[in-house]
Amino acid sequence: MTGISGKVVAITGASSGIGEATALHLAERGGRLVLGARRRELLDGLVRKIEDAGGEAVAVTVDVRRPGDLARLVAAADERFGRLDVLFSNAGSMAVSAFDELQVADWELMVDVNIKGVLNGIAAALPAFRAQGAGHFIHTASTAAYKVVPDQAVYAATKTAVKVLTEGLRQEAGPDLRVTLVSPGFTNTEGVGKGGSPEAAAALIARRDAIAMPPEAIARAVAFAIEQPAAVDVGEIVVRPTAQG
């Protein structure tokens, strides 16, 4: 299947930011959406917005730290639409701080959401993709996977892990599956500065407000990867604001 129309796409972290923007963009182009996040009221509002515009979507309450929740997301795609074509593992945590602050709980959160969340998605969707002989994994990393800066070492480490896992999955995927890494730079989302130390959060928010690109920029990158012919695999896309060094 070429293009986006008719494809079934599951998105984690779909209640806001990049996930929400991607859901709306794909729905406008005929994609059928399975939307996962923890905040069900926001998901339900997004489903209504998509349906009011003539699209198709279903909401599933998902915490990516729980393998069973990802299994339910994949099952919901099959129950509603009969298949799953794309899993966009987009949920993430950016609870950044300096090492000296010893924010161990935030470190664990980023490892659990950013790394284990992606692995849980792979475990849920890979058997379904193998069984139907097609499927596309898309993972959100970050430009932090390419450049480490103070206060962001743990976050950068988790996103570097996502980059490595995605490349390993691509190498094992074989000719029938596609695997894409999308690495956003500063993007105008509520996740920037959420959690972590107040000082680090304030610096990130100020930087975001000064140079950030809209989440729709990432939505278009995701759509570009999805719409390619089945035999074309877009392995990696890095998208930055022009002002980001």
pLDDT of residue 190: 78
Question: Among all chains, which residue has been given the structure tokens 């990516």?
Answer: 64
Question: Higher confidence at residue 21 or residue 190?
Answer: 21
Task: For residue 74, give every residue at least 6 positions away whose Cβ sits within 8 Å of its Cβ, in sequence order, or none.
Answer: 10, 84, 87, 124, 125, 128
pLDDT tens per residue, range 30-88: 999 999 999 999 999 999 999 999 999 999 999 999 999 999 999 999 999 999 999 99
Predicted confidence (pLDDT) at residue 235 exceeds the cutoff of 90? yes
Pick the catalytic residue from 81, 88, 129, 155.
155
Question: Pairing relation of β-strands 32-37 and 8-12?
Answer: parallel
User: For residue 40, what are its two tokens?
Assistant: 């069900």
Sequence spans of domains, the chain:
8-238
Would residue 155 show up in a list of annotated catalytic residues for this protein?
yes
CATH class of 8-238: alpha beta
For the whole model, what pTM was predicted?
Answer: 0.95
The H-assigned helical ranges of 53-145 are 67-81, 104-110, 117-132
Note whether 86 and 134 are within 8 A (CB).
no
- How many Å apart are CA 185 and CA 187, to the nearest integer? 6
pLDDT tens per residue, range 122-172: 999 999 999 999 999 999 999 999 999 999 999 999 999 999 999 999 999
Predicted confidence (pLDDT) at residue 1 exceeds the cutoff of 60? no
pLDDT of residue 201: 80
